[in-house]
Amino acid sequence: FLETKDGWGWMFPKFLNALFRGVGQVVFCNNPFTGLVILLALFWADLFVGLATTLAASTAIITAIIFRQDYAHINAGLTTYNAVLIGSVTSALWFPLYKIEINFLIWAFIVLGAALSVFVNTAMSNFLSSFKQPLPSLTFPFNIVALLLFTCLMPTPFPIVPNTSLNDTRTPGVAMELVARPVDPPMNNSLVRTTRGAEAADPTIVIPTDADIAKIYVPNDKDLHWGSTLLGMLLSMGQVYGVNNLIASMLMWMATLLYSPTLCMMSASGAILGTIFGLVFTEAGSYGAVYDGLWGFNGILSAAAIGGFFFAFTLHSFASALANVIFTVLIQHALAIAFGPLRLPFFTLPFVLSTFIFLQMSATGDNLVRVLNITSPE
């Protein structure tokens, strides 16, 4: 109802509304309260991540207003959700990935990237809607801008002389692991995380986590812990925003559940199938990526997009959503190998590319109905 109001007094609530909806749109929740809960979860996971997200989203809203984008889109958060990811993912991944503190330059580029994402988003939306079966821009603008920023800002000696940086990795598998697990925090960080998780989660879940962390640093123990795998599925939701924190992930799951049980169910299916299928590509003894939820976060988005958001939920679209998750995992593994030597994360590119393909699909029997007036699937 905020749209009917006008005047300076309503500026700030409108601004917050656009901000929160932008945060929620990342997981297909066009609702300010869901967005607020998720933003709080980001602040809980890491104060800096929360701040960076707010800063980036605000920059995007201001840029969109200056360049006179469609107000309905701004209010629905559709011009800002890419900037939300620029803020959260860059601030969350930068230190674990490159072991360099986030300095002023990185902050400046988060603001710049957020502003540019608005341009790229408008362009991509126009471009992708010109096909016979129009495509949404998903998080493609975020991926384009984030790949550019990470490539431009990463420590430059690395991609040129890979040997010097990789010399300290004893086995080839470890080198790849470093890249395939962009969010893997350093040892002390991991302990902090576990302790935090222990405060809230019930002990039956926490105990395997401790064992898990011990295992990562004890290479001889090669068994897969199903408890940790389950935990990885839960953590997947947080990884959509780049954070590796159980409480934050649980809050996000609850927020999506309250917004739409169908979407939440599809997201959970995606997380479960993505994580299990990801095990196929995981060598024994290096389950860190599985436990951290890195195989599930693209699955969540892929399943939710096909299974409930863009297609009406039917048995047929459910099956297509699962096929989309499988294809997403294949793309993710291929990208992890391709981007590995460049030390670039794959972000949500697997989800975007796979879902583009599946959104183009159609069937003669009218089994897949594109939802044109997109609301909550219920």
254 binds a second copy (CB under 8 A): no
Which residues in the 195-234 window bind a second copy by CB under 8 A?
none
CB 266 within 8 A of CB 299: no
124 binds a second copy (CB under 8 A): yes
Which is closer to a second copy, CB of 14 or CB of 316?
316
Side chain identity at residue 194, one-letter code: T
100 binds a second copy (CB under 8 A): no
Candidate list 362, 370, 374, 378; residue touching a second copy; CB under 8 A: 362
Candidate list 167, 188, 220, 364; residue touching a second copy; CB under 8 A: 364
Query: Cβ 362 to a second copy, closest distance in Å?
Result: 6
Burial (CB count within 10 angstroms: exposed 0-12, middle 13-18, buried 19+), residue 378: exposed
363 binds a second copy (CB under 8 A): yes
Angle at 81 between CA 76 and CA 82, to 5 degrees: 145
Spatial separation of the C-alpha atoms in residues 277 and 256, rounded to whole Å = 24
360 binds a second copy (CB under 8 A): yes
370 binds a second copy (CB under 8 A): no
CB 271 within 8 A of CB 296: yes
8-state DSSP, 348: T
Which is closer to a second copy, CB of 9 or CB of 365?
365
357 binds a second copy (CB under 8 A): yes
Taking CB under 8 A as the rule, which mask of x and - marks residues 60-99 in contact with a second copy? -------xxxxx----------------------------
189 binds a second copy (CB under 8 A): no
Please choose, from the candidates 89, 79, 75, 67, the residue with its C-alpha nearest in 3D space to the C-alpha of residue 118.
79
Helix extents (H) in the chain = 11-25, 32-45, 47-66, 71-75, 81-98, 104-128, 140-153, 157-160, 162-166, 172-180, 187-200, 203-216, 226-239, 246-259, 261-279, 288-291, 297-304, 315-339, 349-359
Quick one: which segment of 50-58, 152-160, 200-208, 261-269 binds a second copy (CB under 8 A)? Answer: 152-160
Side chain identity at residue 102, one-letter code: I
Which residues in the 284-323 window bind a second copy by CB under 8 A?
316, 319-320, 323
Tokens 């697990």, residue? 181
Side chain identity at residue 14, one-letter code: K
Which is closer to a second copy, CB of 214 or CB of 363?
363
Q: What CA dihedral angle connects 20, 34, 272 and 308, to 10 degrees?
A: -90
Candidate list 194, 262, 367, 376; residue touching a second copy; CB under 8 A: 367
Candidate list 47, 129, 219, 374; residue touching a second copy; CB under 8 A: 129
120 binds a second copy (CB under 8 A): yes
Pull the structure tokens for residue 163: 């040997």
Candidate list 13, 151, 195, 223; residue touching a second copy; CB under 8 A: 151
Residues that bind a second copy (CB under 8 A): 67-71, 105, 112, 115-116, 119-120, 122-124, 126-127, 129-133, 147-149, 151-152, 156-157, 159-161, 164, 172-173, 175-176, 280-281, 283, 316, 319-320, 323, 326-327, 330-331, 333-334, 337-338, 340-342, 357-365, 367
